[in-house]
Structure 1
Amino acid sequence: MPYQPPTHTVERSMRATLGVRTVAGVDEVGRGAWAGPVTVCAAITGLRRPPEGLTDSKLLTRQRRTQIAAVLTDWVTCYALGHSSPEEIDEFGMTAALRMAAGRALEALPVRPDAVILDGKHNYLGDAWTVRTVIKGDQSCVAVAAASVIAKVRRDAAMAELGLEYSSFAFADNAGYPSPVHRAALEELGPTVHHRLSWSYLDAMPRWQHLKKVRAGVDTGEPVSADAGEQLGFDF
């Protein structure tokens, strides 16, 4: 399928129908990882033409993502990152963790957006913001695509830095997501302080099952400040 660049169609529609002026695109990365935070980026881009090649971060090679992210950080009107730690994910569940991380990103923007375009079909932000959910918004909406690329590159870099301390887990390669090397290290060494202990991977590891945290009635094992990254031990 030929490359289809993202557009401002949804943002223009929101401006026309809702009377809003400033719209932020929001996307997350790290939802399905075994280790590390879940990271959300909020980006405001205005209605300018996007950089060439911008699309969902998952459709780009690592090298191309890094190149585009370097352009985006200067091209966007503004952006901010928010994070929820593994401890918060374990305690509150992924939906609440996403809400906290997204709220932190949006509150850290220098300009408060009037509305938000949220990638996917579920509004995990709730009623605190005016939200339009867009399935595959990271491919079709400029601001969401920008948020997708920035979030992915910044979280990957932070996980690679973490991997210098925990070399057996190969975080530079897997960014905390499941992989054979990651699983082998877990089985041998057990989870680090950066692992999510409510995730189902521990069910298959008898040696470490006793560490699993179970939260009744909350999703388990499912893959509000500018300095939130520093608070979690990540220099984003």
Structure 2
Amino acid sequence: MPYEAPTHTVERSLRATTGAKIVAGVDEVGRGAWAGPVTVCAAVTGLRRAPTGLTDSKLLTPKRRTALAAELETWVTAYALGDASPAEIDELGMTAALRLAAVRALEGLPVRPDAVILDGKHDYLGAPWQVRTVIKGDQSCVAVAAASVIAKVRRDALMAELEAESAVCAGYGFAANAGYPSPVHKAALAELGPTPYHRLSWSYLDALPRWRHLKKVRLSAEAAALESGGQLGFDF
């Protein structure tokens, strides 16, 4: 499939139809991981020509992704990152945790955006933010693609740092798997159990008889009701 560079089409549309002057692209990483935070990046790019090769972070090699993230961090008009911790994910559920991380990122920008382009079909952000959801926005929208790359590289670096510097994370392979399921990760969980950086409300613990007693029941009934309703929920 030929490479199609992301454009500013959605941003131009928001400017024309809503009068938005500052538009932020928002994307997340770590939603499906078993360990580590969910990380959201909000990026403002204006209408300048994007760096060559910019696309969804998942379509880039690690080497190219890292180099591109370094370029993007100085190329974008502004960017900010927000995290929701494993404990917050356990307490709130993923939908509410995503919103928490996204709000932290957006409020970390030097100027409040007039509108937000959110990757995917679910608006987990909601009011008072003016949101436009775009399926595969990380491939088609410049600002979302930039947010995708920056978020992925920053979170991967954080997980590698945990493995290198935290004794309790040794052996889980976070530098390679970033907290996602992998043979090394699964084997370490079976032998050593979850670390303080694991999400303890998730179903992977059901398959670990030695450790399933550690599984936490989500504390937020409101968040659980939102996800079970299907409109805002995610399946893992």
Residue 174 in structure 1 maps to residue 177 in structure 2: yes
Tell me, yes or no, if structure 1 residue 60 matches structure 2 residue 60.
yes
Q: Distance in 1 between matches of 2:20 and 2:74?
A: 24
Q: Which residue of 2 aligns with 1:104?
A: 104
Give the counterpart letter for 1:85 in structure 2: S
Amino acid at match of 1:212: K
1:10 maps to 10
Map 1:112-127; keep pairs closer than 5 Å. 112-127=112-127
Shift of 1:201: 0.5
Asked if the contact 1:23/1:115 (under 8 Å) is kept, the reply is: yes
Q: Do residues 196 (structure 1) and 199 (structure 2) align? A: yes
Corresponding residue for 1:132? 132
Deviation at 1:167, TM superposition (A): 2.1
Cα distance, 1:215 vs structure 2 = 2.5
* Structure 2 counterparts to residues 9-158 of structure 1, below 5 A: 9-158=9-158
Unaligned runs of 5+ in 1: 224-236
Distance 2:38 2:45 in 1: 23
Q: Which amino acid aligns with 1:186?
A: L
Measured in 1, the distance between the counterparts of 2:132 and 2:190 equals: 42
Q: Which amino acid in 1 is paired with 2:175?
A: A
Taking structure 2 as the reference length, what is the TM-score of the superposition? 0.92
Deviations 1:34-71 (A, max 9, x none): 00000000000000000000000000010010010010
Corresponding residue SS for 1:31 = coil
Q: How far apart in 1 are the matches of 2:118 and 2:14?
A: 13
CA RMSD in angstroms, aligned pairs only? 1.3
User: 3-state SS of the aligned residue for 1:123?
Assistant: coil
> Unpaired runs of 5+ in structure 2?
229-233
Identity %: 76
CA displacement 1:5-53 (0-9 Å, x = unmatched): 0000000000001111100000000000000000000000000000000
Displacement, 1:150? 0.0
Query: How many matched pairs?
Result: 223
- Paired residues of 1:34 and 1:177 also in contact (CA < 8 A): yes
- 2:92 and 2:47 mapped to 1: Cα distance? 36
**CA shift at 1:214, angstroms?**
1.9
Letter in 1 for 2:160: A
Distance in 1 between residues matched to 2:57 and 2:193, nearest whole Å: 31
Over 4 Å off, 4+ runs: 219-222
**3-state secondary structure, aligned to 1:127:** coil
